[in-house]
């Protein structure tokens, strides 16, 4: 990004046009309208911003000319998000070139953020940008199982992901009672597609499934036994010894595969407790009959079944790290998501990343970015300085790091506070995963993040104040335009 001192004013009725040699992709009309609205919202707030005063504008920008080489239509693991943006001195044209429609989204977002007031007039500096993501997988986990999230909040969150150039919504959707309607899911996926966001659903098995029990039949969950060998009335993980349970999963995942068109499916596999399996005499008998000596072998059998289902559905898959760590045999194209944050049994995250990539698997980093763990004060810096490739490994291993995933697990969040707790803290992760490795100074990032938070407020996202302790730095105590939940922000998302 090269920015010069010269600048042009921006026309409030700025037009977006496709150049003659551009492809016309289906999401572009909506996209142009959205960014027209967003840019206008910035205009309103700019009146109150501090205004830099220097010189006269070199021109007046009234048109963004977009050239797209190729329409990909559906965002995917190999989606091309690169773009270049050129604001020439004196020209009324901004040129935005993108390999695919996703680059248009990213480029218009950058352009919208660049508008700032000079002499109280919305302006952009003469700028050249060449931009592309550092990591291909920039995910964010929402959890609609522990608390239900209203569709309006999920959509606002997807918009915010797009503004921050994330590209994956990892939807931890498992709980039966919180399954929304199929048409609503499809609506959300389409909403995400228009914003360049993939939706990867997670159906976590064989643990974390207690809520599946009531709906899935009497043999679905493992009956736990007490010390005297009697069923104690409680239920454990899915019972992996019954073929009907695999069939049930096949029916479920077949339907899931149709609804969620992304090539990836998250199969979960975290925190499988072995105690209940150990207590169950049918399982003991089954293991003996099948020459299994360890419970990870039993887990492997289940996961193997899931993997085969996924493959039969032509889906790639992501699993939580335990599936790998416990020695379950997984295919090479499996993506392993690092997650362990057990403070009582600390395991170096770089050890997991090292081991996963050494074995030739693709890896995602997640545990440093569990934003659900809140504390008093400012914490974005620690998310910002994490480096996913900071482990002992070869160049080849580092290439297997596909990126990372941020998480807002749902124990203490629902529609009341999801967006507030997530933003702007997740923006720190967004920059880590998109920008160059060297971009890691929290000091330089601080005023930029503050400006970005204020912009998100103007757009109607209730991003909370979490940038700096304002007893030490009172200048971070406000945004030019305060957020008011009674304002009408519709049209901005």
Q: Does 258 bind another protein (CB under 8 A)?
A: no
Active site residue 345: no
Among 3, 71, 121, 252, the residue binding another protein under the rule CB under 8 A is 252
Helix 151-163 vs helix 101-114: crossing angle, to nearest 10: 80
Among 53, 181, 314, 438, the residue binding another protein under the rule CB under 8 A is 181
Nearest C-alpha neighbor of 400 from the set 427, 440, 360: 360
CB of 19 to another protein, least distance (A): 36
Nearest C-alpha neighbor of 207 from the set 267, 265, 269: 269
Longest dimension (CA), the chain: 87
Q: Does 37 bind another protein (CB under 8 A)?
A: no
Among 43, 93, 120, 179, the residue binding another protein under the rule CB under 8 A is 179
Q: Does 200 bind another protein (CB under 8 A)?
A: no
Sign of the dihedral defined by the CA atoms of residues 370, 375, 379, 382, in that order = negative
Q: Which is nearer to another protein, 217 or 275 (CB)?
A: 217
Around Cβ 198, how many Cβ atoms within 10 Å?
25
Q: Does 232 bind another protein (CB under 8 A)?
A: no
Q: Does 344 bind another protein (CB under 8 A)?
A: no
- Cα gap 86→114, rounded to integer Å: 12
* Residue of 23, 65, 88, 271 marked catalytic: 271
Q: Which is nearer to another protein, 257 or 400 (CB)?
A: 257
Q: C-alpha distances in angstroms, 96 versus 17, 35, 66, 130, 132? A: 10, 14, 5, 10, 13
Q: Does 177 bind another protein (CB under 8 A)?
A: yes
Q: What angle do CA 429, 431, 434 make, to 5 degrees?
A: 110
Nearest C-alpha neighbor of 330 from the set 299, 351, 353: 299
CB of 261 to another protein, least distance (A): 15
Helix 28-46 vs helix 442-458: crossing angle, to nearest 10: 100
Q: Which is nearer to another protein, 126 or 450 (CB)?
A: 450
What secondary structure letter does DSSP report for 176? Answer: G
Q: Which is nearer to another protein, 68 or 457 (CB)?
A: 457
CB of 368 to another protein, least distance (A): 15
Which residues does the annotation mark as catalytic?
A: 271
Q: Which residues bind another protein (CB under 8 A)?
A: 48, 146-148, 150, 152-153, 156, 176-177, 179-182, 185, 210-211, 214-217, 251-252, 255, 259, 372-378, 410-417, 419-421, 457, 462-466, 469-471, 474, 477-478, 480-486, 490
């Amino acid at each position: 990004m090269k920015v010069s001192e010269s600048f042009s004013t921006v026309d409030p009725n700025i037009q977006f046009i496709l150049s003659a040699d551009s492809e016309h992709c289906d999401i572009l009309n909506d996209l142009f309208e959205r960014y027209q609205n967003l840019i206008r919202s910035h205009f309103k707030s700019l009146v109150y911003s501090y205004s830099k005063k220097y010189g006269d504008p070199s021109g007046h920008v009234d048109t963004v000319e977009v050239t797209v080489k190729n329409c990909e239509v559906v965002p995917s693991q190999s989606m091309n998000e690169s773009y270049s943006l050129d604001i020439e001195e004196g020209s009324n044209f901004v040129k935005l070139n993108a390999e695919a429609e996703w680059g248009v989204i990213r480029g218009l977002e950058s352009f919208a953020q660049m508008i700032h007031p000079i002499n109280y007039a919305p302006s952009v500096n003469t700028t050249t940008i060449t931009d592309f993501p550092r990591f291909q997988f920039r995910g964010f986990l929402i959890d609609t199982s522990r608390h239900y999230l209203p569709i309006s909040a999920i959509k606002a969150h997807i918009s915010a992901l797009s503004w921050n150039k994330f590209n994956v919504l990892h939807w931890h959707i498992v709980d039966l009672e919180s399954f929304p309607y199929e048409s609503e899911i499809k609506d959300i996926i389409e909403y995400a597609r228009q914003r360049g966001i993939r939706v990867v659903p997670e159906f976590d098995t064989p643990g974390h499934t207690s809520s599946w029990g009531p709906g899935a039949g009497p043999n679905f969950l493992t009956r736990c036994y007490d010390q005297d060998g009697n069923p104690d009335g409680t239920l454990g993980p899915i019972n992996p010894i019954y073929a009907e349970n695999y069939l049930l999963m096949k029916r479920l995942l077949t339907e899931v595969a149709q609804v969620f068109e992304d090539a990836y499916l998250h199969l979960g596999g975290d925190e499988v407790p072995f105690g209940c399996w150990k207590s169950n005499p049918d399982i003991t008998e089954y293991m003996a009959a099948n020459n299994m000596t360890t419970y990870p072998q039993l887990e492997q059998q289940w996961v193997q079944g899931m993997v085969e289902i996924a493959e039969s559905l032509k889906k790639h898959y992501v699993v939580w790290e335990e599936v790998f760590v416990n020695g379950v045999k997984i295919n090479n194209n499996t993506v392993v998501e690092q997650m362990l944050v057990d403070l009582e049994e600390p395991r170096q995250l770089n050890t997991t990343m090292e081991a996963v990539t050494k074995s030739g698997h693709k890896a995602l980093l997640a545990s440093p970015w569990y934003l659900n763990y809140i504390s008093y004060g400012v914490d974005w810096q620690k998310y910002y300085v994490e480096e996913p490739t900071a482990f002992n490994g070869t160049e080849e291993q580092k290439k297997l790091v596909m990126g990372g995933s941020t998480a807002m697990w749902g124990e203490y969040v629902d529609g009341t506070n999801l967006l507030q707790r997530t933003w702007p803290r997740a923006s720190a992760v967004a920059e880590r995963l998109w920008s160059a490795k060297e971009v890691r100074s929290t000091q330089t990032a601080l005023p930029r993040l503050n400006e970005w938070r204020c912009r998100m407020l103007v757009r109607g996202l209730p991003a909370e104040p979490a940038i700096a302790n304002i007893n030490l730095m009172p200048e971070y105590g406000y945004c030019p335009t305060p957020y008011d939940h009674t304002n009408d922000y519709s049209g901005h998302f």
